[in-house]
Structure 1
Amino acid sequence: MSGIRVVLVDDQALFRAGIRMLVDSQADLDVVGEAANGREALTVVRATRPDVVLMDIRMPVMDGLEATAELLRDDSFGADPPRVVMLTTFDLDEAAARAIRQGASGFLLKDADPEFLLASIRTVHSGSAVIAASATRELFAHFASAAPRPVPPAYGTLTDREREIFALAARGLSNAEIAGREFLSEATVKTHISRILSKLALRDRVQLVVFAFEHGLT
């Protein structure tokens, strides 16, 4: 069985080589392409159709933000575009926050522990999101500090139960924690979360939390 297909995008060849060696050392992971800037990334990703893209934020020619936005708008991927994880040397900056808004599945620091990086690739492939642990509080504080936006009509389509689950997920509770608190099975909670994400046109739980902060729903 083929492994999780990964594309590496970074303008530093030595960094890419190190990540390639790490990723390719895993039986379930396979680097299928590399690119040195965002423009090259678009060509490589469209040709190789990876599951996960590790994308540096700051690069020449086209940066990672612009490349990510273009990839996630590309209708040729259908309902299953690649999961993009941004790579940054900073704990948190506006670029990382913008990447989350655009649909990235999270971001990691370039000096992340190797095992955490590998686990993150598997995590985003499974449909969840990852954020550098040291930056989680700062990320949500960043969104919370702005004036709340008007709550979109889509939020009104949630049932009372879905709003309860939404509120708990927005506070960062896991499916297991929500299940225990609400006396539900984890499968039921997972179904509720999936419906909430679908109704609000959100990709994952990180976007759910950002949505809650941006619209004053926490």
Structure 2
Amino acid sequence: MSSRDSYDLKPFLLIYNGIVFGANGAGIMLDLWVTDWARVSFDCTPISYQITDLKPFFTIYLAYIFFWLHIGEMVPRVVATLMKKKVQWDTFDTITELFFIFTIYYGIKYYPGKASSFLTLVTLIFGLFDYAMRVCASAGPPTVDIDYWQKTFAFFKFLHSLSILIHGYILFFTPSCSNITTLSLLEIMASTFNLINTYRNGSTAWSKAKCLKFD
């Protein structure tokens, strides 16, 4: 396999990144609608199946869509491997990604509700910027300011992880949210892993793994 020719999958990567970019944008609008513009992100009340308001149930369906969308994060890495592009990805990256996916699944499975929708919302917002950059990188523009993209990606990744960390701490120390203590701890741990990974990889994570500049 090492001696094979690389596959030219730039058109596929461009289409895929464009679709996911659109999905993130649509997901943000839907998430803001069902959470009343994120005003219920700290409401730990379990969903009542006796109510007629459909918004709380949409949070569950949206979270499931987001769950599979996040698993789809692996697709660009598979494509990069087929194209013989170097991808910076080690054991800690794998652990961080899998733990984040598990946190999403745990929230959907055991604590579906308004508070758990915050994780979906902030990650979709981050994904919108992430995939906007990926679309530009996949299109292979003649001039790509790699330094600017590196700093921008690292900045948004930091804000993404920090917002989840703060949300988890607030829920953990809120007496009325004692029913979702486990989910709060998982959010804190997942965001901590992400912060460590952002610091650990530094700006090289964008230039080597995500911003594939094609010749």
- TM-score in terms of structure 2 length: 0.26
Point out the structure with the larger strand share. Answer: 1
- With a CA cutoff of 8 Å and minimum separation of 6, indicate the structure with the bigger relative contact order: 2
- TM-score in terms of structure 1 length: 0.26
Q: Which has the larger radius of gyration?
A: 2
Point out the structure with the larger helix share. Answer: 2
